Amino acid sequence: MPHPSIKPGPAARRRELSLKDYVDGVLAGDRVTLGRAITLIESTLPAHEELAQQLLLQLLPHTGQSLRVGITGVPGAGKSTFIEAMGSRLTKGGKKVAVLAIDPSSTVTGGSILGDKTRMAELSADTNAFIRPSPSAGTLGGVTRKTRETLLACEAAGFDVVVIETVGTGQSETAVDEMVDCFLVLMVAGTGDELQGIKRGVLELADIVAVNKADGDNMERAALAKSQLETGLHYMRPKVPSWLPKVVSCSARDGTGLDELWCLVEKHRQALVNAGDFATRRQQQQVRWMWSMVNGRLQSALREHPAVVERVVSLESAVAGGKVTAAHAAEQLLLAFGVKAR
């Protein structure tokens, strides 16, 4: 029995797409079909989720060839300008570039990249580029799941580079690091103590740090920031033995330093490949993605279980009031869910 088609909705007035339509269109690199496939992947309707998983299973053999790059940055670092400058440079060099955002904090705009699309006018109009915001609302786990699956769709569509931008804070940087090959932290000089401009934990994720806006009167400050960051990173434990984090200065406005930066991105990949760390990292990411989804589904199932719903308010109140320990309350909820106490 063929899988039911999914209707795009009366407002769209577009032809229904079958599973084969989605697969053929994505593999052909059709941007319209890719956009509709991502909308399908982002949907939370059960019928859509089922079709999306069927689609991803068929696309999976065609994934894995892209270079996955994560980008985060301090406020005012010029991230959108940087992404446009680097993305345009890559497309002019013959590469196809997809830019995805991950922002669980925004329930209105769908992530700052929606605004960035208007500022990244050149890249948005580039036929070799594809820009997509994160879902407009949801938990970090839900948004990252959709971003991971969107990444696979973009790879199947033939994009050579997939850039994942984190526009949230805190755990979103760690989430992005868990789905990319190279993690780039964008800094800017002239903000005082450069090492205080971004959390130490984020710098510990960095494979490459780029000091942006190294132009004009800011050149001297950028050189000082680069030196400070190199010293600071020297005392941090590298993520893998095969690569020590590098610092480079650049100017997205002038285009200076961008070639050197991309050269470092490619050197990073080659160093990991030579050491066997590249394949291992991706394999470990896949397994962690699986367990992340298992944990997410189990937590949702637990919270929605009738026996848990019946007891959760009273137990939360008892814990908040100091009448029972958190451990005891947790055991009671797990027992209600059907998990035996240890």
From the list 196, 195, 227, 222, the residue with the least C-alpha distance to 211 is: 222
At 112 the pLDDT is: 46
pLDDT tier, 218 (very low <50, low <70, confident <90, very high otherwise): confident
Buried b (16+ CB within 10 A) or exposed e, 291-307: ebeeeeeeeeebeebee
CB-count exposure of residue 39 (10 Å: 0-12, 13-18, 19+):
middle
Q: Tens digits of per-residue pLDDT, 55-77?
A: 999 999 999 999 999 998 877 78
* Domain boundaries defined on the chain: 1-62, 63-275, 286-337
pTM of the prediction? Answer: 0.84
Place of tokens 């997410």: 296
What are the backbone dihedrals phi and psi of residue 269, each rounded to the nearest 5 degrees, phi first?
-60, -45
At 235 the pLDDT is: 82
> Where does 63-275 sit in CATH, by number?
3.40.50.300
Segment 181-208 mean pLDDT: 76
Contact call for residues 134 and 100 (beta carbons, < 8 A) = yes
Distance from CA of residue 258 to its chain's centroid? 22
Which CATH number fits the domain 1-62, given the four candidates 1.10.3720.10, 3.40.430.10, 1.20.5.170, 3.90.1150.10? 1.20.5.170
CB-count exposure of residue 21 (10 Å: 0-12, 13-18, 19+):
middle
Average predicted confidence (pLDDT) for the chain: 85
Q: Tens digits of per-residue pLDDT, 254-264?
A: 999 999 999 99
Contact call for residues 207 and 183 (beta carbons, < 8 A) = yes
User: Is the pLDDT assigned to residue 6 strictly greater than 50?
Assistant: no
At 137 the pLDDT is: 54
Cβ neighbors of 199 (< 8 A, separation 6 or more) are none
Packing angle of the helix pair 46-59, 31-42 (nearest 10 deg) = 130
At 16 the pLDDT is: 87
Contact call for residues 158 and 96 (beta carbons, < 8 A) = yes
Q: 158: phi > 0 → left, psi -120 to 50 → alpha, else beta; which? A: left
